[in-house]
Amino acid sequence: MPTMTAPPDDPLSVPSPDLDLDVLLAAVEEHWALTGDLTPLHGERDRNFRLDSGAARHLLKVHNPADRESVLDLQGSALRHLRAVAPDLPVPGVVPTHDGRSWVEVTGRDGRRSLAWVLTWLEGRHPEPDAVDLREWGRTSARLGRALRGFAHPAATHPLLWDVRHLPRLRPWLSAVSDDRRRALEVVLDRFEQRVVPVLPRMRAQVVHNDLAPTNVLVDERLVVTGITDFGDLTHTVLVCDLAVAAADLLSGRADGLESAGEVVAGYHAVTPLEQEEIALVADLMAGRYAASVLITAWRTQQQGWAPAIDDEAFARLEEMLAAGVDSLGARITTPSLASRATERLVEARVRSFGGQELSYDRPLHLVRGEGVVLHAADGRRYLDAYNNVPVLGHSHPAVVAAASAQLATLNTNSRYLQDAPVELAERLLATLPDRFDRVLLVNSGSEANDLAWRIARHATGHSGGIATEWAYHGVTEATYAFSPESWRGADPPDHIRLVPPPPGPSGFDGAVRDLTASGHGVAALFVDGVFTSDGVLGPAHEWTRAAAAAVHDAGGLYVADEVQAGHGRTGEHLWSFVAGKVPADLVTLGKPMGNGYPVAAVIGQAELVDPFVQDTDYFSTFGGSTAACAAALAVLRTIEQEGLVGHAAAVGAHLLAALRAVATGRPELSAVRGWGLALAVDVVDPATGRPDADRASRIVEGLRDRGVLIGRTGRDRATLKIRPPLVFTDEHVDQLATALADT
């Protein structure tokens, strides 16, 4: 394979300046009126000197003869930009000559001409990599990139071989690499061309520093960054390349090495949130940086007989990555703030902080990232999420992330100010409901929504009695806890609450109404989750819900359609389950999926119920209806409509129901299988007795986790498998779930 030739003006192919220091000092005195002593400093392709002029100190930089004026103008313009937009970033300033120029031309002993300039001196020392705070390094890298994002210069587009994006251009230089290293480099190059090159064109790009290595950063005794130097690799490239280069160069000198890459990424993400595709590239780009270091060093040694000794450490790290598996390392690079804490230590810290609050699974599942219907664990495992209904659009949906992020960056305040987002959200919600609904109250959670609905019902009816199904769940506030027998752990109902059997059995409303009337409470409201999730996922039950509404209305109470779990299209028939069943609900409560995980909820009702309550109580919620929350909720509604997710839920739900029934065939422990859209359940029983078997159900859930699938349990006996995935679940995911269940 022929050796690739670098561009004729590339500094990699041109030796550094050969200078007479006396001549150089004379030029400095002539143009800058500075005299003193020169102390040589490190420089790979340029010549750098500390200039001591009495009490004053400067950096004198003589550029490689290949650097033209456009290169210095690029760096000087970038430094002026940074000092203007981010004065807190410690970068040097250009010291002008006495006639106002930024640089002058000097001639070396060999007759070659170079451009030279004087920069302000930055105090500090280069840090030892092992002593660096990795997250702070990531934050510094992001701050520098963030300050450069508005900067542009024609010279920044000149191809730079140290830009890892151009790694494939270095393939011809494999001929300069020793035989014992060539195969590893070929593996990285092949992988880079197949997996990285195709996605780079759609990544964010801008001018970046491209070389935030410890040798280009100065710190004080407390390891606070006091200087960022060497802008010689400044270039316009893919943004995440800058992060990968910073991480690769920093970790090369650390004892904990590549295992700590996630810390640098987490710090960067705290300043500049990364997109999932960008995070997925970090490991490959780091491998690319190491490969480039080896290739460029080998080529320079072959062509010039000398190169900086940076290839041995780079190759050692590259071998580490290949031995561990680039995919495995990539899976460990995550952004959550606690991602790097060991699972065992995190469990201990959680117990100390939270006490005995329950965790899912016998072995705690330590999650660090989610995308779509996939959750990533700290150990690198991927899990199919068939349980979490909150991210109705799937985890980290880009439409919600973009909407909430943009709004947070613009304005986020309460709804007593006049703003578009809360009004637009209310209008869009009302447009999805029957005409009788004309008022929206925005709150933070489903519990708060149900609590507020209860207050409205008591205000409107003058009664204080409530009705719920026997194993319902409607919230965690004191008022909604009273409607949540699932949480009572067998305790007796509060005095003002009566429970009725869920469908398909007899309603029991007559007795509940009689008891509440006789006790003096009367009936204020009935709360119904249209899917009856906690009762065992029993919907649809249209006849039952319509009869329940008639009974509560006859008693003078209100029907509250709790759509927190049943709404936003989950049933596949309509956006709201009570509308699908033609139930004459009085109040509607929304939560959980409304913001795809962003805290936002709502109570929707009729003016004749809502307006008097608001007037008499001066109702207000500080965070309810906050601008960013409304932006997230609007993005959810738009996406459900644009992607046809209600119909999608119906189709995929039907496929999943059929698949579950097929698995249950011949499995006597898997009893009834039922579902409504993407809310499904499988009853688990003891084959010998036919009774609910919670232990067996638990073993199935744990077994599915071991096979990479997450579901839950529900029902009075906790013996019902609960399956309620994000609405973006597909037939492929159905098959994966069904196969895992069949193997359990």
Of 313, 332, 351, the one marking the end of a domain is 332
Q: What is the structure's pLDDT at 329?
A: 83
pLDDT category, 460, cuts 50, 70, 90? very high
Contact 713, 386 (CB under 8 A): no
Instruction: Count the neighbouring beta carbons within 10 Å of the beta carbon of residue 481.
Output: 17
pLDDT for position 505: 76
Is the pTM of the predicted complex or chain greater than 0.75? no
Based on the fold, state whether residues 502 and 548 are members of the same structural domain.
yes
Cα separation, 142 vs 240, whole angstroms: 10
Residue 216 in domain: yes
**pLDDT for residue 11:** 54
Query: What pLDDT does 570 receive?
Result: 97
Q: Model confidence over 533-590: pLDDT tens digits?
A: 999 999 899 999 999 999 999 999 999 999 999 999 999 999 999 999 999 999 999 9
> What CATH number is given to the structural domain containing 729?
3.90.1150.10
pLDDT at 340: 45
Question: What CA–CA distance (Å, rounded) separates 452 from 455?
Answer: 5
Indicate if the pLDDT at residue 8 is higher than 50. Answer: no
Do the domain assignments include residue 290? yes
Give CA–CA dist 685/258, Å, rounded: 48
- Identify whether the C-beta of residue 502 lies closer than 8 Å to the C-beta of residue 519: no
Give domain status of residue 328, yes or no.
yes
How many CB atoms sit inside 10 A of residue 608's CB?
Answer: 12
Assigned domain for 202 exists: yes
Q: Around Cβ 3, how many Cβ atoms within 10 Å?
A: 12
Confidence of residue 16 (pLDDT cuts 50, 70, 90): confident
Structure tokens at 370: 């989610």
pLDDT of residue 336: 46
Looking at the fold, whether 197 and 108 belong to one and the same domain comes out as no
- CATH number of the domain that residue 52 is part of: 3.30.200.20
DSSP 587-638: EEEE-GGGGTTSS-EEEEE-HHHHHHHHHHHT---SSTT-HHHHHHHHHHHH
- How do residues 378-398 score in pLDDT, each as one tens digit? 777 889 999 999 999 999 898
653 close to 674: Cβ distance less than 8 angstroms? no
| Token output for 269 | 């993400």
362 occurs within a structural domain: no
The CA-based angle 276-279-280, given to 5 degrees, is 85
Residues pairing with 675 in the sheet: 680
Whether residue 220 is found in the same domain as residue 282? yes
- Average of pLDDT values for 214-242? 93
Identify the CA nearest to 696 among candidates 738, 668, 725.
668
Long-range contacts (CB closer than 8 Å, 24 or more residues apart) made by 97-106: 97/31, 97/32, 98/31, 98/32, 98/33, 99/31, 101/31, 102/72, 102/73, 102/76, 103/69, 103/72, 103/76, 104/27, 104/31, 106/17, 106/19, 106/23, 106/24, 106/27, 106/62
Whether 353 is in a domain gets the answer no
Pairing of the two strands 558-562 and 525-529: parallel
Spatial distance between the Cα atoms of 291 and 637, rounded to a whole number of angstroms:
46
Residues in a beta bridge with 208: 235
**Longest CA span, the chain:** 109
The predicted structure's pLDDT at residue 740? 96
Question: Is the same domain home to 146 and 294?
Answer: yes
Q: What is the mean pLDDT of residues 629-639?
A: 96
Residues 420 and 310 in one domain: no
Q: What is the mean pLDDT of residues 730-737?
A: 96
Q: Is 390:724 a contact under the CB 8 Å cutoff?
A: no
Same-domain check for residues 328 and 427 = no
Give the range of the structural domain holding residue 51, as residue numbers without chain letter: 11-120
- As a whole-number percent, the residues of the chain with pLDDT over 90 amount to 77
- If you search the block for the tokens 């509404």, which residue do you land on? 549
Assigned domain for 289 exists: yes
Question: Are 48 and 155 part of one and the same domain?
Answer: no
End-to-end CA distance of the chain: 53
Identify the domain boundary among 627, 642, 657: 642
Mean pLDDT of 113-125: 95
For residues 193-208, give the mean pLDDT: 95
pLDDT at residue 42 in the model: 81
Please report the pLDDT score of residue 1 as a whole number. Answer: 30
Judgement on whether residues 95 and 181 belong to the same structural domain of the protein: no
The C-alpha atoms of residue 192 and residue 172 are separated, in whole angstroms, by 15
The pLDDT of 288-312, averaged and rounded, is 83
Percent of the chain that is helix, strand, coil (3-state, to 5): 45, 15, 40
What value does the mean pLDDT take over residues 600-625?
Answer: 94
Give the pLDDT confidence score for residue 730 in this predicted structure.
96
Total of domains in the chain: 4
What integer is the mean pLDDT of 311-318? 90
Are 214 and 310 contacting, i.e. CB atoms less than 8 angstroms apart? no
CA atoms within 13 A on the CB side of 53: 17
pLDDT class of 10 with cuts at 50, 70, 90: low
State whether residue 455 is helix, strand or coil: helix
Residues 288 and 174 in one domain: yes
List, for residues 41-75, the tens digit of each pLDDT value: 987 788 999 999 888 999 999 999 988 999 999 99
Q: How many residues does the chain have?
A: 744
- Asked if 92 and 229 count as a contact pair (C-beta separation under 8 A), the reply is yes
DSSP state of 7: P
Helix (H, G, I), strand (E, B) or coil at 80: helix
Residues 99 and 139 reside in one and the same domain: no
Q: Are residues 454 and 542 in the same domain?
A: yes
Tokens, residue 5: 């030739």
pLDDT at 2: 34
Note the pLDDT of residue 310.
67
Of 588, 620, 642, the position where a domain reaches its end is 642
Tell me if 71 is assigned to some domain: yes
Beta bridge partners of 367: 377
* Mean predicted confidence (pLDDT) in 676-680: 98
Residues 209 and 297 in one domain: yes
